[in-house]
Structure 1
C-alpha cells in the first residue's frame, strides 16, 4: 500500500483535536494533501505544525455558508478533492425533559446537516476524482445511550446517509463509508462541559462495558478512516465499520 495516498486531496472537519487531528497526521505522513477545518485557529495550527502537507481553514461546519467556503478553499489549494472526512461533531448530554431546543438544534446542525451539505457541495469534485466520503459516526443505534438521545440520533442518521448515498453514488464512482468509533480518548466530553470528577466516573462505568477493557486511542480510529479511503479499498462502500473494543456485542 506504499504511496497510494500520495498527492490525494483530503478535507477533514473537526481537524483541530482528537480523531480528526490524528487522521490528518496519518494522511499527511503518507503524502496526501490535507485541509483541516475547525472553529479554533490555534488548534488547527497545532495540527499542521511540522507537516507542510497540512493546510488549515477556520470554519464552523454548522454555518450555512461553510460548505461552499470549505470546498472553495480545498479546490483553490489542491485543484481537486479525493476524500471528504466528515468528522466534526459535538455532544451536549441531557435527559429527555431537560433538552434545550437551541442546544439540540446546534447538535443537528453540526453533526448531521453540516456533513450533508458539505458532501453535497463537494460531490462534483469527488465524482471527478472517483473519491470517497468517510462519515465518522458512533456506537450502534440498537443500543440505548442515556442522556445522549440527540447526539446518538444524529450519528445513527449519518449512518443512514452513508448507506443511502452509497447506493445513489455507486454509478457515479463515489464510495461512502462510515467509521463508527467506540468511546475514544478525545477532548469531546471536556468540550461538552464535563467536570474532571464526572469524567472519571463516566470512564469507570464505560470500562466495565468494554470487553477489551480500555478506551480507544485516536490513532486506532484514524487507521480505519485512512485505510477506508485507500484505492485498495475500492470494493468497500455502504459499510459501517464499528471500531468499539467489543462494546457492541457485550
Structure 2
C-alpha cells in the first residue's frame, strides 16, 4: 500500500502515554503526524517508524491549528482521522485553584480541540473523516470529582462538543466520537507532579477499587480508537465509549 493510499492521521499529545500508543497502533497501516510541545518525546514515538512524522507545536498559540493541518496535508495530502488527545491537569480543590493553571487546562483540553477541529473541517470533509476526542470517565455520567473540578469540567465540555459536532458535521460526512478513558498506566501522574512512588500507589489503590481488578493500558485505549475510527464504524457518530474497567459504575 502506497503512502497516498494510506489514511492520514493527526494525533495530538503524541509524545507520551496514550498518545504514543495511539501513534504506534495507527502507524501499522496509516500515515501519522504526532503533535506536541516537546520534540524529543515526539521523536521517541516516531523512532523506527518511517510513516510517523513529528511536529513540535503549542496548540494554544494563535495559528498553531492551521499550521498542524497544513503540515499534514503537505506531507500526506489528506486527513482521515483527527485525534484530540492532548491534555493537562492540575489537581486542586476549589480553594486552591490558581488562575494560570485553570486557564492552561481550558486552553489545552478544550480550546485547542475546538480550533484544531475547525481548522481540519475541509480536509476531513474531503475524506469523510472522523474526529476522535479523548475524554475521561471521571467526568462522565453526572459524577462529582473532588480535586479535579477544572480538569473534569473541560472533559465534560469535550463530551458535549462530541455530541453537538456529530450533529453539525454529519451533513459534511464527518463523524465525531469519543473515548472516556479510565485510569490508565500512562505515566500521566508523574508528569502532573507526583513522585514515581506516589503514582504507583495511586495505580495500585485504583486497581483495588475497579471492578476489572486493574487499571488500563495505553494499548487498550488505542485498540478502541481504531475500532471507533474504522470504516466499518461509519454508522456511529456522537458515541462516547467508556473504557474504564467499570470504575465509573460504582
Q: TM-score, normalised by structure 2?
A: 0.95
Q: Is it true that 1:94 corresponds to 2:92 in the alignment?
A: yes
Q: Is it true that 1:27 corresponds to 2:29 in the alignment?
A: no
Residues 166-205 of structure 1: pairs in structure 2 closer than 5 A:
166-205=166-205
Q: Is it true that 1:134 corresponds to 2:132 in the alignment?
A: yes
Structure 1's consecutive aligned runs of 4 or more residues displaced over 6 angstroms after TM superposition are: none
Identify the residue that residue 76 of structure 2 maps to in structure 1: 78
Identify the residue that residue 212 of structure 2 maps to in structure 1: 212
| Residues 175-209 of structure 1, C-alpha deviations (whole Å, 9 max, x = no match) | 00001110001121111111234323422332232
Distance in 2 (CA, whole Å) between partners of 1:20 and 1:204 is: 22
Q: Matched residue of 2:242: which SS?
A: strand
Q: Matched residue of 1:91: which SS?
A: coil
Distance in 1 (CA, whole Å) between partners of 2:197 and 2:125 is: 47
Distance in 2 (CA, whole Å) between partners of 1:10 and 1:200 is: 32
Structure 2: 5+ residue runs without aligned partners? none
| Residues 8-47 of structure 1, C-alpha deviations (whole Å, 9 max, x = no match) | 00000000011111111111112x0100001111111111
Asked if the contact 2:185–2:203 (Cα under 8 Å) also holds between the matched residues in 1, the reply is no
Distance in 2 (CA, whole Å) between partners of 1:129 and 1:214 is: 38
Distance in 2 (CA, whole Å) between partners of 1:48 and 1:227 is: 22
Q: Displacement, 1:210?
A: 0.6
Q: Displacement, 1:146?
A: 1.6
Distance in 1 (CA, whole Å) between partners of 2:96 and 2:220 is: 34
Which is further off, 62-71 or 163-172? 62-71
Q: Displacement, 1:141?
A: 4.5
Distance in 2 (CA, whole Å) between partners of 1:210 and 1:109 is: 31
Distance in 1 (CA, whole Å) between partners of 2:47 and 2:196 is: 29
Aligned residues: 246
| Residues 122-169 of structure 1, C-alpha deviations (whole Å, 9 max, x = no match) | 001101110000000001152211211111110110000000000001
Identify the residue that residue 145 of structure 1 maps to in structure 2: 145
| Residues 225-250 of structure 1, C-alpha deviations (whole Å, 9 max, x = no match) | 11111111110100000000001212
Q: Matched residue of 2:131: which SS?
A: strand
Distance in 2 (CA, whole Å) between partners of 1:188 and 1:200 is: 11
Distance in 1 (CA, whole Å) between partners of 2:235 and 2:200 is: 41
RMSD: 1.5
Q: Matched residue of 2:54: which SS?
A: strand
Identify the residue that residue 8 of structure 1 maps to in structure 2: 7
Asked if the contact 1:91–1:189 (Cα under 8 Å) also holds between the matched residues in 2, the reply is no
Structure 1: 5+ residue runs without aligned partners? none
Asked if the contact 2:36–2:57 (Cα under 8 Å) also holds between the matched residues in 1, the reply is yes
Asked if the contact 1:11–1:83 (Cα under 8 Å) also holds between the matched residues in 2, the reply is yes
Identify the residue that residue 42 of structure 1 maps to in structure 2: 40
